[in-house]
């Protein structure tokens, strides 16, 4: 039986692994099919402390992984398929293995909703982004598009005006879902305009590894045309990776895990860190910070059980 099992290998999971391993608790990390989380599809990361000239997302995650392994963390590139938190020890069933654990840290993250285009996949990190806060500074004096119609999309659009010369919101309807207050801020901003009744059907140019234009279709007229731009930001929401925890851990209405007293979930001995429980900040550094918190909470909880 494992002392601690960590589900997820993004900044939250790997930071938790470093702390748990250094406490001699020999954690097992289920990395999932995409080890490293969302940073694996990010190119330059310039806002993670300690890297004066920035660092590539995959390199940052590889360094964290090696650091956790150095202290004794075990990595398995498997998905956790089922969990049983009804009694201790907790039971976990993964792709190729099954384990029991005294404590579990859930750091399975969240996935940005995307349009599902092939070009979008190929250009992610090369002009296509799902995080304006992370990547906006790369588009200084450039023209960018942002897809979405809610408050978070409006906030990201306003944030992007700090850098971009022009921000165009692409929205499939003829009115925004955002609050009136946010809409007023958008309409008053001279750098922002809106393409109504429009959807992106393709992005140019994956062959050149850069964004040159969005192919946009008007849903009412069926008219299709190119809109030149240097970057495209997806702001149509995130989905927490919590499907296997439904009915087992308390969640909010959007499916994010609810934590209290730090990183404690509704089940004693199960902790949650990173984007799986944070729909506000969603940054690598905040995820890493909560991973540290979850590790310390788990270590102290285990000590209390033994005491």
The one-character DSSP state at 23 is T
Whether residue 229 lies in the annotated active site: no
Residue of 135, 202, 230, 275 marked active site: 135
The CA-based angle 134-12-34, given to 5 degrees, is 80
Residue of 44, 84, 134, 278 marked active site: 134
Residue of 44, 84, 131, 141 marked active site: 131
Helix (H) or strand (E) holding 157: helix 151-160
Closest CA to 270 of 239, 302, 231: 302
Q: Report the C-alpha gap between 11 and 107 in whole angstroms.
A: 9
Cβ(79)–Cβ(93) below 8 Å: no
Tokens representing 293 are: 């918190």
Closest CA to 16 of 288, 300, 306: 288
Whether residue 135 lies in the annotated active site: yes
Own/partner long-range contacts of 48-54 (Cβ < 8 Å, ≥24 apart): 48/284, 48/285, 49/285
Whether residue 292 lies in the annotated active site: no
Cβ(138)–Cβ(45) below 8 Å: no
Q: Report the C-alpha gap between 88 and 174 in whole angstroms.
A: 53
* Catalytic residue ranges: 131, 134-135
């Amino acid at each position: 039986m494992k002392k601690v099992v960590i589900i997820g290998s993004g900044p939250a999971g790997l930071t938790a692994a470093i702390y748990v391993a250094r406490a001699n608790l020999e954690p097992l990390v289920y990395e999932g099919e995409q080890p490293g989380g969302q940073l694996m599809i990010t190119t330059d990361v310039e806002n993670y402390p300690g890297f004066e000239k920035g660092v590539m997302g995959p390199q940052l995650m590889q360094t964290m992984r090696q650091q956790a392994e150095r202290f004794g963390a075990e990595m398995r590139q498997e998905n956790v398929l089922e969990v049983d938190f009804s009694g201790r020890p907790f039971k976990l069933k993964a792709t190729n293995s099954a384990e029991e654990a005294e404590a579990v840290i859930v750091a399975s993250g969240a996935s940005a909703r995307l349009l599902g285009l092939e070009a979008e996949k190929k250009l992610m990190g090369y002009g296509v982004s799902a995080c304006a806060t992370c990547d906006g500074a790369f588009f200084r004096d450039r023209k960018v598009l942002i897809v979405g119609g809610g408050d978070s999309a409006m906030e990201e659009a306003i944030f992007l005006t700090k850098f971009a010369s022009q921000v165009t919101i692409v929205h499939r309807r003829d009115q925004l879902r955002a609050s009136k207050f946010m809409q007023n801020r958008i309409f008053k901003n001279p750098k922002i305009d809106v393409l109504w009744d429009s959807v992106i059907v393709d992005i140019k140019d994956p062959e050149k590894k850069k964004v040159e234009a969005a192919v946009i279709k008007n849903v009412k007229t069926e008219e299709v045309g190119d809109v030149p731009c240097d970057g495209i930001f997806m702001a149509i929401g995130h989905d927490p990776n919590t499907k296997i925890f439904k009915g087992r851990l308390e969640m909010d209405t959007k499916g994010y895990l609810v934590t209290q007293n730090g990183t404690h979930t509704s089940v004693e001995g199960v902790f949650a860190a990173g984007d799986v429980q944070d729909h506000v900040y969603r940054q690598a550094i905040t995820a890493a910070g909560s991973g540290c918190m979850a590790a310390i909470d788990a270590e102290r909880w285990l000590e209390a059980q033994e005491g």
